[in-house]
Amino acid sequence: MLNTGRVTVFNLLAPIFLVIGLGAVLQKGGMLTRELVAGMTKLLYWVGLPAAVFYAMVSADLSDGGIGPLMMVLAGTTLFNAGLAWLLSPLFGVSNRSRGTYVQAAFRGNLSFVALPLLLTIPGIPLGKAMLAFAPMVILHNAVTVIFLAISQEGANRRFGWSTLVEIIRNPIIVSAVAGLGFGLAGAALPSAVDRTLGALAQMALPLALLCIGATLVSVPLKGNRQHAVLAAAQKILLAPVLGYLLGRWLGLDDASMLILLICLSCPTAAISYTMAKQMGGDEGLAASAVVFSAIGSMVSLSVVIALFAV
């Protein structure tokens, strides 16, 4: 296991969920209105999180090997879990219209707002390996989400695939990861002023992201078939980590790689799933409920992962 001294599961996870809880309280108290949260989310998407990812890539040791097996397990588990959700959903009574939404809820993790803060703050995680694994997974999650949502809707607009590809290519988090990778591999040093600026933005981004998650969770309506939402959430935060663990052990991943893998697989369903389902004519009630249920359950799944591999 990673040597993190006196670090405990509580000390690692408590700040994450306490700040999320603070965001929920502030939203309920009227300080974080929907308009304000929307503006903060936009700021994070275009400035804060890209700065954090770029800074982490530039600061990390990108020479660390072993990324191939880690990526194989991450991508393989994600695709298998998505395909399994597609096959199981009719057996659970999920309608054709809701099928793509169920799949999205069962596999799409909140990488940017939950996994990323953990990857950047847990001691002992090799940042280079973590960032090299993070960026491709953002692309994969977006692409697979669009595919399943589109094929579950009759008469889906064929032009949507191209527009989505453009959105993925210009995703600021992906662009910053690629730019940071190139800068890091080139061995160039950031000017002191730029380094401090990016560091400040990165420190701003992580707590702000957690506040937005908390505010979003209490503003998302719980409706639709809650049994389907619970099943999808369970597949996301329970089945996916178990599958990843088994495959990772079979391929001989070390504890550092296993921690990166299981954090990505154990984090809750992405809050943007609700927006995506709404925009593409999916089941927004199922999507919203799965986000909330998985967020609650992920406190347990992430605690187990960190207890096993980070303490």
Helices 192-219 and 34-43 cross at an angle (nearest 10°) of: 150
Q: Is the whole-model pTM more than 0.85?
A: no
Could you tell me the CA-to-CA distances from 262 to 155, 172, 268, 280, 306 in Å, in that order? 37, 25, 12, 29, 9
pLDDT of residue 208: 85
What pLDDT, in 10s, does the model give residues 160-183?
A: 556 656 666 676 877 887 788 788
Torsion of CA 263, 265, 267, 269, to 10 degrees: 160
CA-to-CA distance for 137 and 30, rounded, in angstroms? 35
Report CA torsion sign: 39, 42, 46, 52: positive
154 or 101, which is more confident? Answer: 101
What does the alpha-carbon distance between residue 66 and residue 258 come to, in Å, rounded to a whole number?
A: 11
**Predicted pLDDT of residue 155:** 47
Of all residues in the chain, the percent with pLDDT exceeding 70 is: 86
Statement: residue 77 has pLDDT above 90: yes
Measured distance CA(153)–CA(282) in Å, rounded: 7
Model confidence band, residue 37 (pLDDT cutoffs 50, 70, 90): confident
Print the SS3 string covering 65-130.
CCHHHHHHHHHHHHHHHHHHHHHHHHHHCCCHHHHHHHHHHHHCECHHHHHHHHHHHCCCCCHHHH
- pLDDT over 90 (residue 225): no
> Average pLDDT, whole number, for the chain?
82
pLDDT digits (tens, 9 = 90+) for 114-123: 888 888 788 7
CB atoms within 10 A of CB 133: 22
Cα-flanking dihedrals φ and ψ of residue 109, to 5°?
Answer: -85, 160
Residue pair 97/80 in contact by the 8 Å Cβ criterion: no
pLDDT band at residue 80, thresholds of 50, 70 and 90? very high
| 97-109 average pLDDT score | 92
The DSSP letter of residue 270 is P
**pLDDT for the residue numbered 243:** 96
Residue 82 has pLDDT above 60, yes or no: yes
> What is the set of domains in the chain, with CATH numbers?
9-309 (1.20.1530.20)
pLDDT digits (tens, 9 = 90+) for 184-223: 778 778 889 998 999 888 888 878 878 887 887 777 766 6
Q: Please write the tens of the pLDDT for every residue from 250-292.
A: 999 999 999 999 999 999 998 777 767 776 677 878 888 898 8
Question: What per-residue confidence (pLDDT) applies to 87?
Answer: 95
